[in-house]
Amino acid sequence: MSNSLVIVESPSKAKTIKKYLGSGYDVVASMGHVRDLPENRLSVDVKHDFKPRYAVIKGKEKLVDDLKKAAAESDKVWLATDPDREGEAISWHLAYLLGMSTDEVNRVTFNEITKHGIQEGMAHPRCIDQDLVDAQQARRILDRLVGYKLSPFLAKVIRRGLSAGRVQSVAVRLIVDREEEIRAFVPQEYWSIDGKFIPKGERKQFPASFYGLADGTKVDIHNEEEANRILQAVEGADFVVDSVKKGQRRRSPAPPFTTSTLQQEASRKLGFQARRTMKVAQELYEGVELKDMGAVGLITYMRTDSLRISEDAIAEVRTYIGDQFGSKYLPEKERHYKTKANAQDGHEAIRPTSVALRPDDIKDSLTGDQYKLYSLIWKRFVACQMSNCLMATTQASILANGYLFKASGYRVTFDGFTALYEESTEEAEESASNLPVLEAGTPLRVKEIAGHQHFTQPPAHYTEASLIKALEENGIGRPSTYAVTISTITAREYVRREGKNLIPTELGEVSTKLMKEHFPKIVNVRFTAQVENELDAVQRGEENWVQTLHDFYGEFDKTLQKAKKEMEGVKITLKEDETDLICEKCGRKMVVKMGRYGKFIACPGYPECKNIKKYVQYTGAECPKCGGRVVLKRTKKGRIFYGCENYPNCDFVSWDEPSKEKCPRCGKTLLIKKGKKPKLYCITPDCGFEKIREEE
């Protein structure tokens, strides 16, 4: 009996696939990448066509040996890593390590981890796609060159331990530019005149606002004086409905999710950070243990920017809609959505593998996060094939002493897809009332009317959702990299979070200013998008990956050498690195420094004064045992915990993070208990107060 080895990336995926392949197949996991550019050196031979010097990733030597042994004992080896650039590169590296030919038909891909998806993948094997591999290599080497060449420059000029990245630097620039727009914004005063009116013979009131002159000319009100002049002119005047315009508005459902739109919607609706969204989506794709069904992949591949839906999936969902909602909710024709011109169309849009697996039916088998995200994906997909929402609209024009007021409203005549799902937006939607029956010539009684002062608002800060949207619209990076990019710029303290807003730190602003001055192309949005297009051309086999690297690196290296000369001996000191601690040896104000093992506090008078102190990060919480301050600490393995600053005299410790909220019973700090059902509870053991925690 023949024995085949199937290599995938993760153990959970291996378990699900094994269930469908059955006997005769061994399914093992590579645990992601097995070979890469070593981290402790550049590992790229710039002088010889950027030849990469790959090595087995540290700690994976035994895994690679086990894979070699399993391959040697098998009649056939199938490379079944994820169906994207990274997955293709992993298969290519595995083929090299296992002594397999890249010309051999040994590569299989699964768009969905279901019986049908796996049968389809195994039935259509192919060779490793070298163009896809080369595109990944070009991106990896490009990012390594930028990171390893720029980071020492930033570290020398600003702060030790800094790093730069090709995509992350542009993301930080977008956030910094927005902050500068907000600071430069000058509010402009304007006024509105708003009233509430009651038609003759009616009791229901409705709102209407000043528009302009009776001939339809729009009039802007700039100040209180202008507003009062209009109010005086209409005081005691007859308000009469001049005309009523009725119409119908149709709202179409949003298309199914791509990686980018899933991250945006999960941020807006669920409060999920992009990294959390992708982690949960990966779990849903690889397979979840369902009661009486075993491991089942619940969604199609989650790294995609295509809106394509298979005909089988459309047929299934249309049958479901007809059965569950009725024929009114089923359009005559199925809906097909157009994918953007520069999108990779290798995979379908993100959808449930079967609409029969309703979220509420399998809720008990899912974690809280899995249920929330699966519900979002399931509802969005089903709704995308449902009928339009229909609304009857009414617009009324009202005249009073030569001035025009307008009222508008709508009522839903058929809910359509909104019976199941509505897309959220960053901007607050204008509310419109359901107007009473109005006819031309109807006199109106004024219930109230007044002027209201307003000021124009600055642009909004970026949130994760709006930043992801901006990155995608500008062609920066790829949707699959957005989660890592945002995590990186916050972890490296270029950007901080304030609620959902992303705010640049002083470090982010200073480093962006430096990059704009000396490396304008690296932080140029259009140039970064152009590089992305060239990588896509490599993937399509239209460009040579080595030439693409030559085109980029020649100018980049010249720019770097010039910047090093211009900034020789310059050291930028950040205000945010200053502390209130006074050096007891020389009287200077001490500063935060970055060393090999993290932050520490030092005297700026080095080398004359070598006084240093341990860096302590205060949480703002009070110790329940001794009243001291609670500080953030780390175990030897880097795991964060919280303890009293007076240790070892006070032994208070907690794995749970202090929140900014105070206990309503005793006034002490509330701790955050994470998990399937997150909650807040009082730091004081005897208090006993706790409450369910809202999602951030």
Rounded Cα–Cα distance for residues 148 and 144 (Å):
6
Please tell me which residue in 301, 329, 403, 553 is annotated as part of the active site.
301
Give residue 342's pLDDT.
Answer: 61
If you classify domain 259-383 with CATH, what class do you get?
mainly alpha
Q: 181 and 470 in contact (C-beta within 8 Å)?
A: no
Q: 54 and 93 in contact (C-beta within 8 Å)?
A: yes
Rounded Cα–Cα distance for residues 27 and 25 (Å):
6
Domains 137-184+460-566 and 189-252+389-455 share a fold: no
Residues with Cβ < 8 Å from 445, sequence gap 6 or more? 197, 198, 199, 200, 239
Give residue 443's pLDDT.
Answer: 96
| Exposure of 145 in the CB half-sphere (CA atoms within 13 A) | 24
| Residue 618 falls in the annotated catalytic set | no
Beta 495-498 vs 578-582: how paired, if at all?
unpaired
Give residue 272's pLDDT.
Answer: 93
Q: Which CATH number is associated with domain 189-252+389-455? A: 2.70.20.10
Give residue 638's pLDDT.
Answer: 67
The CATH architecture annotation of domain 4-128 reads: 3-Layer(aba) Sandwich (3.40)
Handedness of CA 485, 487, 488, 493 (dihedral sign): positive
Question: Residue 78: is it exposed, middle or buried by C-beta count within 10 angstroms (0-12/13-18/19+)?
Answer: buried
Give residue 576's pLDDT.
Answer: 61
Domain layout of the chain by residue ranges? 4-128, 137-184+460-566, 189-252+389-455, 259-383, 575-614, 617-692
Any idea how long the chain is?
Answer: 696
Instruction: Report, as ranges of residue numbers, the positions in the chain whose pLDDT lies below 70.
Output: 1-2, 341-346, 426-433, 576-577, 594-598, 637-638, 675-676, 694-696
Report pLDDT digits (tens) over 291-319.
888 889 999 999 998 999 999 999 999 99
The CATH architecture annotation of domain 137-184+460-566 reads: Orthogonal Bundle (1.10)
* pTM of the model as a whole: 0.81
Main-chain phi, psi angles of 577, to 5 degrees: -85, -10
